[in-house]
């Protein structure tokens, strides 16, 4: 009797296990549904790195999901669903990295005083004539900082060849543009032009204009680490010395500044 009960229990247990296994196998798998991003939680971002002065195209922009509250300075898809199309042709006043939200206050319309929008308050822009030789071999780019060198030939009253005088009249001046270009080339190459537009204070404008009228102006490229130094104008009355240079059988005199100890 006991053996019969054990056998019956085993058969019942096996049947229950089989029924459970068949039920689990026949049950439909849980479906994973990916909900599309909410349009009201998407912001407009740069689809690629954009240099300052770049013209926006459709491929430069895309929508990206935003977690949390959207800052009012960003462009949301809910508020501006046509932003990608409407912003084409705009100019970037500053650079954007890929994935950075687009801010309309950093954009300007082409032909609407773009260069003036790049100038900080109280600054002026002045263009100077340059060549590749007078711009560090043509390697000076927009946003670089330079020293402005003035060179003038002074005749000798005795009838000699006279002397050539060069001096730094301004230091740490930002280059706004080279010709009509306000950013470096797409491949990072230099931009060689006939004019360089410099950012200067109002009192520095007269210094640059007088230097161009009385001689030639060259730009000396500064190291990036020195860009924090304040722009300086040559101190009036600074002591100067004359150096004799002999080159190719010709002698010229170059005036250079020196400290009070004679160095």
pLDDT band at 45 (very low <50, low <70, confident <90, very high): very high
Instruction: Select from 1.20.120.330, 2.60.40.1150, 3.40.190.10, 3.90.1210.10 the CATH code of 41-108.
Output: 3.90.1210.10
Q: How far apart are CA 168 and CA 192, in angstroms?
A: 22
Higher pLDDT pick, 12 / 60: 60
Which CA distances in Å does 38 have to 61, 66, 67, 242? 18, 9, 11, 73
The pLDDT value given to residue 247: 46
Q: Which of 6-10, 127-131, 167-171, 250-254 has the lowest mean pLDDT?
A: 250-254
Query: Which residues, 6+ apart, have CB-to-CB distance to 243 below 8 Å?
Result: 253, 254, 255, 256
Q: What is the mean pLDDT of residues 201-217?
A: 88
CA 97, 101, 107, 109 torsion-angle sign: positive
H or E, element range at 128 = strand 124-129
Enumerate the domain spans of the chain. 41-108, 113-233
pLDDT above 90 for 75: yes
Q: What percent of the chain has pLDDT over 90?
A: 16
Mean per-residue pLDDT over the chain, rounded: 75
The pLDDT value given to residue 235: 46
């Amino acid at each position: 009797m006991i053996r019969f009960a054990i056998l019956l229990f085993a058969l019942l247990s096996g049947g229950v296990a089989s029924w459970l296994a068949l039920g689990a196998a026949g049950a439909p798998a849980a479906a994973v549904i990916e909900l599309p991003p909410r349009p009201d939680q998407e912001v407009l971002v740069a689809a690629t790195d954009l240099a300052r002065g770049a013209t926006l195209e459709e491929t430069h922009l895309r929508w990206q999901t935003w977690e949390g509250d959207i800052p009012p300075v960003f462009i949301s898809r809910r508020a501006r669903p046509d932003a990608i199309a409407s912003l084409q042709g705009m100019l970037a006043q500053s650079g954007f990295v890929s994935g950075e939200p687009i801010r309309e206050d950093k954009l300007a319309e082409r032909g609407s005083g773009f260069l003036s929008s790049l100038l900080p308050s109280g600054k002026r822009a002045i263009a100077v004539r340059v060549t590749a030789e007078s711009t560090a071999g043509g390697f000076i780019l927009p946003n670089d900082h330079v020293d402005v060198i003035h060179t003038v030939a002074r005749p000798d009253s005795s009838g000699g060849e006279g002397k050539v005088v060069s001096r730094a009249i301004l230091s740490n001046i930002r280059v706004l543009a080279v010709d009509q270009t306000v950013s470096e080339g797409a491949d990072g190459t230099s931009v060689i032009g006939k004019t360089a537009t410099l950012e200067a204070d109002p009192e520095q404008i007269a210094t640059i204009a007088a230097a161009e009228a009385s001689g030639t102006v060259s730009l000396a490229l500064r190291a990036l680490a020195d860009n924090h130094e304040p722009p300086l104008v040559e101190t009036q009355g600074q002591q100067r010395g004359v150096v004799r240079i002999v080159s190719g059988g010709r002698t010229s005199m170059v005036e250079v500044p020196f400290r009070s100890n004679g160095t």
